Amino acid sequence: MINIEPIATISSVFQDKFGIPRQPGICPSADAFLEFPADNFFKDALKDLEGYSHIWIIFYFHSLKKTPDKAKIRPPRLGGNKYVGVFSSRSPYRPNQIGLSLVENKGLEIFNDSIRLNIANHDLLDGTPVLDIKPYISNDIPEKEPSFGWQSEPWNNLNVSFSEDSEEFLMGKDELRNLIIDVLKNNPTPAYINKSKKDRIYGMNLNGFDVRFKTAGKQCLVIKITA
């Protein structure tokens, strides 16, 4: 047995698992922060991190509803109909529920009772326990051109539009508009659901806002947004 204590907790715009980007680096408008105790250890441990534009976050998938027990999974990128070995995927359903994300470093803020490390362009759920952080360095970039296995094909982004009600709600809320577009263009809907039901309405919680939308082909329409 290995006992590991979290060093920080994520505070994120993603309040629900549904809608979280399937990997980091594809949702520039998504921000978050890691909250550390404001003690001398973390003040010293985080020193000099500001010189790195990107960092690796090692975290624990804390909100799975079932115990991972499958050697193969059905990735959304393959339409949810084909199986691959779990170690060739980034699925959270793995023998040890550990995740790894490369995110943008947006700097430290020190308060009386906590230390915050701001990040962006992430794929992390609110409340995620952080196990470790490491700086991203030039040696992390392979010398040879990498290959990407079954994930070589690019995502087909959706065209995101807004209803009149949604446009009215978003007046003066450019950050929220950009976040919604960044999330929905990557098509968060489950790949295994029958997409022939064009009137199916999906919902997600983004930074405290309830966003309702539907998709058809390469189009995504945001129907309603409420606080």
Tens digit of each residue's pLDDT (9 = 90 or more) over 58-114 = 999 999 888 778 899 888 777 777 899 999 988 899 999 999 999 999 999 999 999
The DSSP string of 27-75 is -TT-EEEEEEE-SHHHHHHTTTGGG-SEEEEEEE----SS----SEE--
Q: How far apart are CA 74 and CA 82, in angstroms?
A: 6
- Of the chain, the percentage scoring pLDDT greater than 70 comes to 95
Q: How far apart are CA 211 and CA 62, in angstroms?
A: 24
Tens digit of each residue's pLDDT (9 = 90 or more) over 51-63 = 999 999 999 999 9
Using pLDDT thresholds of 50, 70 and 90, give the confidence band for residue 208: very high
Q: Let me know if 11 is exposed, middle or buried by CB neighbors in 10 A (0-12, 13-18, 19+).
A: middle
Q: What is the mean pLDDT of residues 200-227?
A: 93
Using pLDDT thresholds of 50, 70 and 90, give the confidence band for residue 33: very high
Cβ contacts of 186 within 8 Å, gap of 6 or more: 21, 22, 26, 27, 155, 157, 158
Tens digit of each residue's pLDDT (9 = 90 or more) over 155-188 = 678 999 999 999 999 999 999 999 999 999 988 8
Quick one: tokens of 40? 């001398």
Instruction: Report which of 184, 190, 193, 189 is spatially closest to residue 220, judged by C-alpha positions.
Output: 184
List of domains in the chain? 8-62+97-140 (2.40.30.70), 159-226 (3.30.2310.20)
Using pLDDT thresholds of 50, 70 and 90, give the confidence band for residue 154: low
Quick one: tokens of 89? 């995927």
Using pLDDT thresholds of 50, 70 and 90, give the confidence band for residue 153: low
What pTM does this model have? 0.85
